Amino acid sequence: MKSTLMKIFPIVIIVVVIASFFISSFSNSPSSQNEPNKNDKSYTEEKEIKKEIQNISYYFTEELKQEWISYGFTYETCADWINIGFKPTEAEYAYWLEKEVDFEPLKYLNETSPEDQANLREQFKEWKRKNDN
């Protein structure tokens, strides 16, 4: 039973990734009146980054991809944060760590203990409370 599941699991993952690609490519077509200038370099770069980010995790919705991009993350930096255990919903926290605390993903992973990470999350919540008002 276990070996059968181990054989089927990679196939299921591939099917899910392919299905999510087709769903995302057909479900969010922009209307013609709001369509951006496709010759604009920033539009092209953003579109490419969104496509690449989808490859990191199929949990990235269009809104989450846009959030990571709006904080200035590239495909590589986004992938680095996700690969060390961050969730697709934690773009703002990753941004705060980079800009306010001066942590990059590997530095955060290698130089902080679980207690330090818990303290940083508390500091982030406090920073967010102050800045949301």
Please give, one letter per residue, the 3-state secondary structure of 88-124. Answer: CCCHHHHHHHHHCCCCCHHHHHHHCCHHHHHHHHHHH
Helix, strand and coil content of the chain, in percent to the nearest 5, comes to: 75, 0, 25
What pLDDT is attached to residue 92?
Answer: 95
Is residue 65 within 8 A of residue 71, CB to CB? The reply is no
pTM score of the predicted model: 0.58
Please report which helix (H) or strand (E) contains residue 125, including its range.
Answer: helix 114-132
CA 108 to mean position of chain CA atoms: 17
Residue-range domain boundaries for the chain: 52-132
Q: Average pLDDT in the 104-117 region?
A: 94
- Per-residue pLDDT at 76 exceeds 50: yes
- Residues 68 and 104: their CA atoms lie apart, in Å, by 15
Reported as a single tens digit per residue, the pLDDT across 16-75 is 445 555 455 444 444 434 444 455 556 556 666 655 555 555 567 778 888 988 999 887
What pLDDT is attached to residue 27?
Answer: 45
